[in-house]
Chain A
Amino acid sequence: SQQGEEDPQALSIQEGENATMNCSYKTSINNLQWYRQNSGRGLVHLILIRSNEREKHSGRLRVTLDTSKKSSSLLITASRAADTASYFCAHRVYNDYKLSFGAGTTVTVRA
Chain B
Amino acid sequence: DAGITQSPRYKITETGRQVTLMCHQTWSHSYMFWYRQDLGHGLRLIYYSAAADITDKGEVPDGYVVSRSKTENFPLTLESATRSQTSVYFCASSAAGASEQFFGPGTRLTVL
Contact = CB atoms under 8 A, between A and B. Distances in A.
Contacts, number: 56
Contact of A43 (B50, B58, B90): B90
A33 B99 contact: yes
A74 B14 CA distance: 41
A97 B94 contact: yes
B20 to A, nearest CB: 19
Given A3-B42, A45-B101, A98-B58, 15 more contacts: A1-B59, A33-B99, A40-B106, A41-B105, A41-B106, A42-B103, A42-B106, A43-B43, A44-B103, A45-B100, A45-B102, A90-B101, A98-B45, A100-B45, A102-B42
Q: Which of A33, A42, A88, A99 has most chain B Cβ within 10 Å?
A: A42
B31 interface: yes
Interface string B79-107: 00000000000101010000111111110
A90 B42 CA distance: 10
A25 interface: no
Interface string B30-46: 01010100001111110
Q: Please indicate which of the listed interface residues B35, B40, B41, B43 has the most CB atoms of chain A within 10 Å of its own CB.
A: B43
Given A1-B59, A42-B90, A103-B42, A33 B100 contact: yes
Nearest to A4: B42
Interface of B: 31, 33, 35, 40-45, 48, 50, 58-59, 90, 92, 94, 99-106
A103 B50 contact: no
Interface residues of A, number: 24
A42 B105 contact: yes
A5 B101 CA distance: 20
Contacts of B35: 101
Contact of A42 (B31, B44, B104): B104
B107 to A, nearest CB: 10
Interface string A14-34: 000000000000000011010
23 contacts: A3-B42, A31-B99, A33-B100, A41-B105, A41-B106, A42-B90, A42-B103, A42-B104, A42-B106, A43-B90, A43-B103, A44-B103, A45-B102, A48-B100, A88-B42, A97-B94, A98-B45, A98-B48, A98-B58, A99-B33, A99-B101, A102-B42, A104-B42
